[in-house]
Chain A
Amino acid sequence: MVAASHAIETEGLRKRYGAVEALRGVDLYAEKGIVLGLLGPNGAGKTTAVRILTTLIKPDSGTARVDGFDVVREPGKVRENIGLAGQYAAVDENLNGFENLEMVGRLYHLGRHAARQRADALLAEFGLEHAAKRLVRTYSGGMRRRLDLAAALVARPPILFLDEPTTGLDIRSRIALWDSIEALVESGTTVLLTTQYLDEADRLAHRIAVVDQGVVIAEGTSDELKHQVGGDRLEVSLCDGGEADAALRALAAVGVGEPAVYDHTVSVPITSGRGTIAEAVRRLDEAGVAIDDIATRRPTLDDVFLKLTGHTAAEAEEEQG
C-alpha cells in the first residue's frame, strides 16, 4: 500500500471485548479528500473502528495510520489532525453554544482570542448564531448535532470522523447536516463516516465498506454495491394478475435482466431510472395492460445485507443484541 497518499489506512485490526470479537481483522483505506462510508448494523464494529482510529482505544492487533501517523505510537500527532463528531453529540449541556466551541478551541491551544473568533465563525456557519448564548440543554437534537460537528471542526482538521452523525434526527435536520458535510468535503476534508443508512452513504460516500460482525464483507462505490444486489428495479402493480405475461412482453425492452412476478406485481431489473417510468407506462398502455401503480425501487440496506450475508440488517442487529 502507498501509505503517503492515504489519509486513513488500517491493516488487520482486531479488538475483543471479553467473549465478543468486535473487530476480526479489518482492512480499510481512504485516499485524501474522499468520504469513506462504513455501512453496517448496530454492533457491526463500526464504532470500535472509529474509536481505534481516533486513539480512544488501542487495537489488540493490527495497525492503523491516520494522516501517516500510527494511532498507537503517535497518538498525539493523530489527535492534532482529526476531528470527531458522533451520535452522542458530545457537548456540555451546562455551557452555551459559544462557550462549548470556545472551550474546545482553547483545548486545541488556539489562544483565547483566536478561540473566540473561531467559535463565532462556526456558530454563524452552522446557523446557530441566534442560540450562541443559550445553554445547550435547551437545544433541539438537530442543533446539538450541528454544534457537535462544529466542535469537531474548531481546529480545521484535515481528517474528520463522523460516527452515525444523523442517527435519530428528523429528515430536515439530516439534510441540513448532509449539506454541511458536503461543503466540508468540497473544501478538501477527508471524512470517515459510519452509518446504518444506505441513502446516507449513497449521498455522501465516494466509497463504501460494508461491515458486518467485525469484518468488511464488501467494498466499492455505491453503484458497485447496488449492482451486486441487482441494481434498481421497476415494479408494476397490475389491476388484473392474469395480465402478467402481457405486461412482461411489453416491458421486455425496458428491463435488463431476469424479471420476477409475485402476487399482482411484475418486477423488472432496470439500469437507469430516468425516463424509464414514462417509457414503461407508454408501452403498457399500448399493450392494453391496466396498471394500479408503477414505481422504481432502489436496493435498500436490507437488500445489500440479504445478498451479502444471507440475513437482513435488522436480524444482524438482533443477533448482536
Chain B
Amino acid sequence: MRAVANELSDMWVLAIRSVKRIPRQPDLLVGFTVQPVMFVLLFVYVFGGAISTPGFDYEDFLIPGILVQSMAFGGFVTALGLSDDLKKGLMDRFRSLPMSRSAVLTGRTLADISTNVIQLIVMLVVGLLVGFDFKTGIGHVIAGIALLLLIGYAFSWVFAFIGLTASSPEAANAFGFTFLFPLTFVSSAFVPVASMPSWLQKFAENNPFTIMVNAVRGLFLGIPVGHDIWLATLWSVGIAVVFGALAIWRYRRVVAR
C-alpha cells in the first residue's frame, strides 16, 4: 500500500513540476496554442473555399480534424522536457533518489493533460468564433472531449519515446514533425478521403487519424460513423500501451549509459 501511495505521490509531484513550467515558458504556451489557431484560420479562410466537403460546412468538417491533430501534437512538450532533463543531468538526480522509477515518465504525461485542456479550450473558442457548431447533445460533446484528451494522452507516450530517443530537444521536435505531420494530413482531418488518388485512399481510410477524426465528428456532429468511436478508443489505448512500453524500455537504456 505504502509503495503505491509513494508511486502516486511521486507521479503527482513531478506532474506539478511540469505544469509549473507552462506559465514560466510563455514561448512554449504560445507555440502550442497559436500554431493550431493559425491552422484553423488558414484552412477556414484560405483553403476552405477550394475544398469541397459534401454534406458539411467546411468549419464543421475541419474543427474535429484540427482538434485531433493538435491533441496529437500537444505531447511534444513531453519530448522537449524529457530530452532537456537528460541533457541537464536532472534525470541523474531523480534516479539517485529513493523514488519511483516510472514517475519521471508518468508525471510528465499526466502534466500534458493539463496543457491539452488549455489547448482544447483555446481551439474550441476559436472554432465557435469561425462558425463551428455542435450538432449533438451535451453528453456526446463531453464524450468527444474525453476522447480527444485520451488521444492526447496516447500521443504523449509517443512523444515520450521520441524525446528519449532523439539526441537533443531540437532533434526531438524535428523527429516528431517529420513523421507525424504527414500522417495527420493523409487522413480525413482536412479533406475528404474520397478526394485523394485511389492508392492513397486505402492508406488514408485505415490511418488511425482518420478513424479518430471520424469518431470526433460522430460525437460532435451526430453523423453516423459505424464503429469508429470504439475503434478510435481502442487505437488510443493501444498507442498508449505500445509506446508506453517502448518509452519505458528507452528510458531504462538511455539512463543506463
Contact = CB atoms under 8 A, between A and B. Distances in A.
Interface of A: 17, 51, 54-58, 76, 79-80, 82-84, 86, 88-95, 99, 103-104, 106-109, 135, 151
Interface stretch (B38-46, B95-103, B117-125, B213-221): B95-103
Nearest to B97: A107
Interface stretch (B16-24, B129-137, B175-183, B202-210): B16-24
Contact of A92 (B17, B96, B97, B98): B17
B249 interface: no
Contact of B93 (A58, A84, A106, A109): A84
Contact of A54 (B20, B88, B96): B96
Given A55-B95, A56-B256, A109-B6, 20 more contacts: A17-B257, A56-B96, A57-B256, A58-B256, A76-B98, A79-B96, A84-B96, A88-B88, A90-B89, A90-B93, A91-B93, A92-B90, A94-B20, A94-B24, A107-B10, A107-B99, A108-B97, A108-B98, A108-B99, A135-B24
Contacts of A88: 88-89, 92
Contacts of B13: 103, 106-107
A99 B89 CA distance: 18
B47 interface: no
Contacts of A58: 256
B9 interface: yes
B198 interface: no
A87 to B, nearest CB: 8
A175 B92 CA distance: 26
Contacts of B88: 88, 90, 93
A151 B97 CA distance: 11
Nearest to A76: B98
Nearest to B17: A103
A86 B25 contact: no
Contacts of B230: none
In the complex, the 6 A-B pairs of residues with the closest C-beta atoms, listed nearest first: A88-B89, A90-B89, A94-B21, A90-B93, A79-B98, A84-B96
Q: Looking at chain B's contact residues, is the secondary structure mostly helix, strand, loop, or mixed?
A: helix
Contacts of B255: 56
Contacts of B94: 107
Contacts of A83: 96
Contacts of A86: 89, 92
B20 A106 contact: no
Contacts of A109: 6, 9, 98-99
Interface in B1-52: 6, 9-10, 13-14, 17, 20-21, 24-25
5 contacts: A80-B98, A84-B92, A88-B89, A103-B13, A103-B14
Contact of B97 (A51, A91, A104): A104
B90 A90 contact: yes
Contacts of A57: 256-257
A83 B13 CA distance: 19
A95 B90 contact: no
Nearest to A79: B98
Q: Which of A80, A82, A93, A107 has most B Cβ within 10 Å?
A: A107
A117 to B, nearest CB: 16
Given A86-B89, A95-B20, A106 B9 contact: yes
A145 B213 CA distance: 49
Contacts of A82: 96
A99 B17 CA distance: 9
Contact of B92 (A17, A80, A90): A90
Given A55-B96, A109-B6, A99 B20 contact: yes
Q: Which of B20, B97, B257 has most A Cβ within 10 Å?
A: B97
A99 B24 CA distance: 13
A4 B6 CA distance: 30
A147 to B, nearest CB: 11
